[in-house]
Every structure is written in C-alpha cells, then in structure tokens.
C-alpha cells in the first residue's frame, strides 16, 4: 500500500512541477499552526501553491524535470511553493518579508525559475525583483524619457520666440 501512495504522490508532483514556471524551496521548522496558515495564505495570495512534501519524492520529481538538486536542500522540513514565475517571486517576497525568517523558522533553500536551478542566495534574491507592473512602468519611463526631453528641447525654440514676439507686441501697445 505505501508504494501505491508514493507512486500516486510522485505522479502528482511530476505533473504539478512540469507545469510550473517557477518554484521556491524553503525550510519550515517549528511553526505554530497559526504561523503555518498565515504563511500559506500569503503565498496563496501571491498566486503560489504550497506543499510540504516528502523530500525523496520531491527529489525524484525534480530529477524527472532534469534538475539535480543538492541533498542539503532537502534536509529537514522543506516546503515547495510553485506556480508561474510571478508566483515564485511572490513566494520569495513572502518568506523574505516574514518575521519568522528573522526568528529562524523560515529560510530559503533554493528554487527553479524558468527551467534554471537556483541556489539559496539566488532564490532569496528573487524577493528583490519588482512585480510585472513596476517593471513595465520602469521600462516605459526608460523609453519615453529621451523622447520627452527631445520634445521639450524642440518646443523651447518656438516658445522662446513666442515670448519675445509677445514682449514686442506688449511694448508696442503701450
């Protein structure tokens, strides 16, 4: 019976991980039920699915995806948050911003983003990546900035000429 359960769990993980663009592996040690529910709720709000998985099954499912994960990543209670790339970034933000990380109850162990295996430092750095709307606004500002400056420079000659002519008209009228 346990082999059937393990095989079903492994098949479910392979299917879920195969569709995921990003994953975050993080340790969960000594959490109370309220803390656990708060972390899971925050990750759900970021779009990630979270599961505390058996380490051996997670390693097998990731190996099926072509990722050879270090054994140190899956030591102790390790949870995996997965979803699209934004969900993985959101999960990293949740772990990084949590006071539980400072207490040592949560910690980033690694991750996968768009097919690339990330170490603990790289996965934790995902928390510093802005969300999609912020990135689009930054890109738009970068593109439109020089055009706006060019328009202001080209408009300066005409507006300067208009002010000089208006000044002459005002002086002639007096």
Q: What is the pLDDT of residue 2?
A: 67
User: Could you count the other beta carbons within 10 Å of the beta carbon of residue 27?
Assistant: 20
Q: What DSSP character marks residue 131? A: P
CA atoms within 13 A on the CB side of 25: 28
pLDDT tens for the chain, residues 1 to 174: 468 888 888 888 888 888 888 899 998 888 888 988 888 898 898 888 898 888 888 888 888 888 888 888 888 888 899 888 888 888 888 888 887 877 778 888 888 888 888 888 888 888 888 877 888 888 888 888 787 777 777 777 777 777 888 888 888 876
Exposed / middle / buried, residue 84 (Cβ in 10 Å: 0-12, 13-18, 19+):
middle
Contact predicate 110/118, CB 8 Å = yes
């Amino acid at each position: 019976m346990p082999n059937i359960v393990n095989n079903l769990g492994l098949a479910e993980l392979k299917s879920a991980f195969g569709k995921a663009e990003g994953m975050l592996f993080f340790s969960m040690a000594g959490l109370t039920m309220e803390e656990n529910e708060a972390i899971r709720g925050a990750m759900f709000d970021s779009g990630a699915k979270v599961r505390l998985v058996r380490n051996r099954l997670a390693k097998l499912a990731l190996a099926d995806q072509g990722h050879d994960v270090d054994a140190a990543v899956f030591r102790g209670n390790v949870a995996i948050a997965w979803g699209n790339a934004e969900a993985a970034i959101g999960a990293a933000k949740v772990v990084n911003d949590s006071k539980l990380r400072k207490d040592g109850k949560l910690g980033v162990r690694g991750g996968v983003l768009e097919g690339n295996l990330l170490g603990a430092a790289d996965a934790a750095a995902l928390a510093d990546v802005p969300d999609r709307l912020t990135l689009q606004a930054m890109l738009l500002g970068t593109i439109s900035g020089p055009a706006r400056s060019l328009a202001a420079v080209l408009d300066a000659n005409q507006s300067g000429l208009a002010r000089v002519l208006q000044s002459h008209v005002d002086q002639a009228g007096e």
